Amino acid sequence: MEFIKSMNDHQSLSDRVSRLIENSILDGSISPGERIIESDIAKRLGISKAPVREALKRLEGDSIVQHLPRRGYFTNTIDMKSISDFFEIAFIIEPIVARNALKKKTDTVDETLVNLLKDMKKALRDKDFETYLAHNTRFHSLFRDLNDNEWIIKVSHMLSKQTRILTALSLSVPARYAESIQEHAEIADAFHKGSPKALDQAIIKHLKKFKENIIKSYETLEMKETL
């Protein structure tokens, strides 16, 4: 956190704090439903509360945190409703994102997908799950980056942040890693062939398995908490 103390530009400081809080939420350091106390963060970083407050407002806009009147900021709670709400949108947006990406399909994009799959397999062999998740995120971000519809990009970007949180939960099921790589390979293959229909099917299959494993993981955690 020392790098934040050396920042002089106020706006840049707010950006850095935003990324710091976001990464702490996405990697699980800050738990779902946990209160984020502005004064505590400001004290830890040796800064005023103003940039922390700005950072939290930005994260609220990205649906990473929520502000409750007279209570403050909290990370979003993961429950069955939030999972259902997320996938209701994901099943609509993600196939559109992938189909639009086909319009800008190139040999370079195909090669990038192949390399990302290789990197994911290597990370799994090395049991480097953090790197695996990073490659997973880049795989899906590649499709979003090939879109030029600003609204789709914004919605997809917001979904991707939630996806990172839910992916860690989904992959808590050990067998999920191998399944996930196979599903990504099917998505890449459909993209290589330039088939919108096959791409739709591969994306939907991946989302269905993703949802299934998230629910399984969520229910397992719920059972543990009640014991």
Q: Report pLDDT for 78.
A: 81
**Overall pTM surpassing 0.75 (yes/no):** yes
Question: Measured between alpha carbons, how far is 139 from 58 in angstroms, rounded to an integer?
Answer: 25
Q: Report pLDDT for 56.
A: 94
84-88 long-range Cβ contacts below 8 angstroms, 24+ apart: 86/159, 86/162, 86/166, 87/207, 87/211
pLDDT in tens, the chain (227 residues): 333 434 445 458 888 898 889 888 877 788 878 999 999 999 988 999 999 999 999 898 877 899 999 899 998 878 889 899 999 999 999 999 999 999 999 999 999 999 999 999 999 899 888 888 889 889 999 999 999 999 999 899 888 888 877 776 666 666 778 889 999 999 999 999 999 999 999 999 999 999 988 888 777 766 555 55
Q: Report pLDDT for 5.
A: 39
The one-letter code for the residue type at 62 is D
Q: Which residue from 98, 120, 123 is spatially nearest to 109, judged by alpha carbons?
A: 98
Q: Is 11 helix (H, G, I), strand (E, B) or coil?
A: helix
